[in-house]
A and B are shown apart, each in its own frame.
Chain A
Amino acid sequence: MSGTVSSAGGIEALLQLRRVEEFLFHEARLIDERRFEDWRDLFTEDGIYWVPAEPGQDNPVDRLSIFYENRELMDVRIRQLRHNAFWAQIPPVRTRHVIGNVVLQEGGGDTELRTRSSFVMLEYRDDRRRVFGGEARHLLRPNGDGFRIARKRVDIVDCDGTHGFMSVPF
């Protein structure tokens, strides 16, 4: 367990891990409940949501990505999710996340936290079921009692696979 905060920091580290878990569960619930504006507001003003298209991809600038969105693009995506002529979402998708294997990582400095977690997202729409899964890496900044997301990177296990259209974040 070396390298994890929980083994190094005793009870305070366990409490911190629990706070982070609660936050990640909350974030997933906002997506599943289609509270997309509240989800967007978890991000810092310079927050980034990124889903690479290649395993181990090291940046979104010189390789193609599935999602690479700042707050502006999240805003436009959410407007579209609320639009009554968004054909890809008629009927709208239903999702449910399961989050686990949450680990706090070192290297965030005093003002930021790095986390890794696994997820499974079930999706249903128009008599079709899909399962997405993979690892999320969050860069979190403490904010009052909670956190804000400065960066969320999601590596789905089939990132370089063939996909049908998708519209909601993981």
Chain B
Amino acid sequence: MTAPERSEIESLVETGRVHRRVYTDPELFALEMERIFGRVWVLVGHDSQVREPGDWIRANIGLRDVVMIRGEDGEIRVFHNRCPHRGMTVCVPAKGGGRRLVCPYHGWAFDTAGKLLGVPQPGGYDGGFDTDDARYSMAAVARVDSYRGFVFASLAAEGPTLAEYLGEISDTLDNFCDRAPEGEVEMVGAPLRQTFEGNWKLHMENSVDAVHPGFVHRSSVESAQGFIAEAGSAETADQAIQMFNANGFTLNEWDSIGIHGYDGGHVFMDGFYRGGVIDPDRKDPVFQEYKARMAAAYGEERMNRIFARETFNNLIYPNLSFNTRFQQLRVIRPVSVDRTDIHSYVFRLKGAPEEMFHTAVKFVSTANSPASPVLADDLAVFEQLQTGLGSEGVEWIDLSRRSGREEPFGNRGIRDRATSELPMRTMLGAWRRYMAAA
């Protein structure tokens, strides 16, 4: 395959509009795997998934199959999950552990740092087998680094450091962790796994689209409203019903909150949950106990600053979406140009009352289950979007709402009202830059 010319790629993303090929062209998808997922920092896991030396999990960087392992020296490493001998997948289950990795095919064995320990029949090689030859160790991914326990890897040997790549969006990861009295979170259990027949970018854009809930989520909003009208109160309704109801913001209300973008393609939107068990300042005894523990850990002033950083979805380009208030993390996994998987994880705030974790579990189940009354409508819409974009009758997608009305934010960011299409323009601006760089 010959990559499209730089000018051709750049012509696909204009100010305020994007060509449908960006979502439908298999060649551009292959190029995204090379120039975006093959170069940037991508999350591979959380250090709480590999607590003990020898613990490992399988993960993906784009379409690449990798394994993240904690070495006996405590260091976390990421390898291509491929035996240097004949290409066999070395780690087959989703997770495992032990002092050695042994290839199922011919028994090549590696230590937890990926170094080859031995092969069968070494006498079959002239001069014996050199187990120290670096070609015969597990191939390490070019760069690995972590931020507050989140482990990222980059397939590119050169490029910005992880800290440089994250830039100012790192403070939302800080907030994710700072909400724990002990300043750390831990990933718990297996993720929920969903799939849809659509391009991965549709999900990322939708996570920060404040105009769609009034249309896409009308059925879950009005069903919750109907229930609440009969029950007489929203405050006593189940947490899930309060969540459905919260999407019923009017467009003026959505305009009262902000949306923010950074030039790396990262985006976050302000929180909009109000009242009851989803209120940022809950009145119930569990939350009061949690606040007391937070105040003891940080002092009132710092605690108030942590809580004031009230966001909803936070996106780290290209494929992470997380919610700091309910300890949710979604990894968007591109499978093909028109197929995407979503893995949704929940975290426990270390040092918080266990009931805070139960609220997070309920949030993540309600918002991420394949049976979610909210997510089902999103996924159904993504599939019909992909169908619509497949039609050659109309070539361009319009993303110009509130274009040019952004204000500066932070050192290198912009902000506007949440009904702006700023987040789509921000992500596609990053897409254009990465894709055009040969």
Contact = CB atoms under 8 A, between A and B. Distances in A.
Interface in B165-213: 188-197
A166 B370 contact: yes
Interface in A25-58: 51, 53-54
Interface residues of A, number: 34
Interface in B372-393: 372-373, 375-377, 379-381, 384
Contact of B188 (A62, A68, A160): A62
Interface in B343-362: 344, 346, 354, 357-358, 361-362
Interface stretch (B27-35, B73-81, B215-223, B268-276): B215-223
Given A68-B365, A70-B238, A80-B220, A165 B194 contact: yes
A62 B361 contact: yes
B223 A164 contact: no
Contacts of A54: 189-190
A85 interface: yes
A80 B219 contact: yes
B380 A79 contact: no
B361 to A, nearest CB: 6
B369 A64 contact: yes
B218 A163 contact: no
A41 to B, nearest CB: 16
Contacts of A90: 380
Interface string A65-85: 111101011011101100101
Given A72-B237, A87-B380, A65 B196 contact: no
Most chain A beta-carbon neighbours within 10 Å: one of B188, B191, B238, B364: B238
Given A64-B189, A64-B344, A66-B371, A162 B240 contact: no
B341 A162 contact: yes
A163 B241 contact: no
A162 B376 contact: no
A67 B238 contact: no
A53 B369 CA distance: 9
A162 B220 CA distance: 23
Interface string A85-96: 111101000000
Contacts of A4: none
B380 A72 contact: no
Nearest to B245: A76
A75 B231 CA distance: 11
B434 interface: no
A166 B371 CA distance: 5
A11 interface: no
A161 interface: yes
B377 A87 contact: yes
B190 A164 contact: no
Contacts of A79: 222-223, 226-227
Contact of B191 (A64, A75, A77, A163): A64
Contacts of A1: none
Nearest to A75: B227
A53 B192 contact: yes
- List 10 A-B pairs, minimum CB-CB distance, nearest first: A79-B223, A88-B376, A165-B376, A163-B370, A83-B219, A86-B219, A88-B380, A80-B223, A162-B193, A87-B380
11 contacts: A53-B190, A63-B361, A64-B191, A66-B369, A76-B223, A76-B240, A79-B222, A163-B193, A164-B196, A165-B370, A166-B376
Interface of A: 51, 53-54, 60-68, 70, 72-73, 75-77, 79-80, 83, 85-88, 90, 160-167
